[in-house]
Amino acid sequence: KPKLFSMIPKTCSDMNNIINEMENPSPLKLICEEMNKNKDTRIIQDMLSNMYPIYSKNYDIAENLKEFYEDQICLSKDEIIQLCCNTLDQAESDNWFLARKKRISASKNVHNIKSRITKTIESLVSDILFEKKISNKSTQYGIANERNARLDYQKKYNVDIKCPESCKNLPVINEETQKVNVKYLELTNDGVQLKK
């Protein structure tokens, strides 16, 4: 049986290996461990309440805010997976913008916090609370022409961009059947290789 790349997780059972390789202590590791227990609970809410009691016990939160947090922010394992599936298109998905609007995005807001030297606190809070959807002629042009640009690039440089629509709901390689679901890879005795 050909060997697949060892770094690519192939099944849910590989989750234990991935968790073991994570740093200790790590918030992501704790979340993965909880998710791996296969409980459909509001994972992050329960973990934060148990790990950091200061957040749940030392500060009074208005009941309506607590209800909003529990109803709109906290997600079960299944809800997390569903949200992920529903927002794969990111900027093309209204659900993606709605989900981001309710949460502090690490990618953008950590940068804002680190660059606080050049911003006032008011400006930082305003940027976090009232995130703007960027839409100008340049971004509209980019969105409208992205697919054509990708196809032209592939033709010009004789390459395949390896993010095929054909594998949106399939693995690139089905381990059980040894079926390759993309046209540019093949399984050989040496493992996975690009077709020539």
Give 170's contacts (C-beta < 8 A, 6+ positions apart).
Answer: 181
Nearest-5° Cα angle at 75, 99 to 33: 120
What's the pTM value of the predicted model, to 2 decimals? 0.39
Tens of pLDDT, residue by residue, the chain (196 residues) = 333 333 333 344 455 565 566 656 666 666 666 666 655 455 555 555 555 555 555 667 788 888 888 888 888 777 777 777 777 777 778 888 888 877 776 666 676 666 666 777 777 777 777 767 677 888 889 888 988 998 999 899 988 776 666 677 788 888 888 888 888 888 888 888 888 7
